[in-house]
Amino acid sequence: LSQNLDERVEFDEIADRVLAMVAEISPGKVTGRRSGRFGILDAEVATPLSMVLTEILQNALEHGFREGDTGTVEVAAVRGGTTKEARLLVTVQDDGVGLPEGFDPHTSGNLGLQIVRTLVEGELGGTFDMVPAPERGTRVILDIPVPAQK
């Protein structure tokens, strides 16, 4: 991502690469797409966020779709807030099989989700939630404080 934590990176390109990589390893014919813009992020945000995004997308493919299934995983990014309290809202939604009955992402022993929680809440100072998507599938919501766009 970056050689130096003082650097800033265009995260849309990184998100697109992660989406393409994950779609390549899809067990079926799952397509990935991005809407909205992440914009330019400090490397200290971009590095853990890329790991979080990769883990969430791999999780969606591994648990959301069966061998041979077709479907879509969409990553949506919205930046907003004031200059003092800017936020990045990231939603990852799939149209796969959805969450198992009684599944709680906050108490799940899944190592990948533990890593996601640790990075989002500890490293990035944000929040993480995983809920059933309105139609079908799963929706992951990240809310992360970021410096305002310059």
Parallel, antiparallel or unpaired: strands 86-94 and 138-145:
antiparallel
Write the DSSP string, 67-120.
Answer: TT-EEEEEEEEEEEE-SSSEEEEEEEEE-SS-PPTT--TTT---HHHHHHHIII
Structure tokens at 85: 């309290």
What is the pLDDT tens value at each position of the chain, 150 positions in all?
545 556 899 999 999 999 988 778 776 688 899 999 999 999 999 999 999 999 999 999 888 888 888 999 999 999 987 767 899 999 999 999 999 888 888 887 788 899 999 999 999 999 999 999 998 999 999 999 997 765
CATH class of 8-145: alpha beta
pTM over 0.85: yes
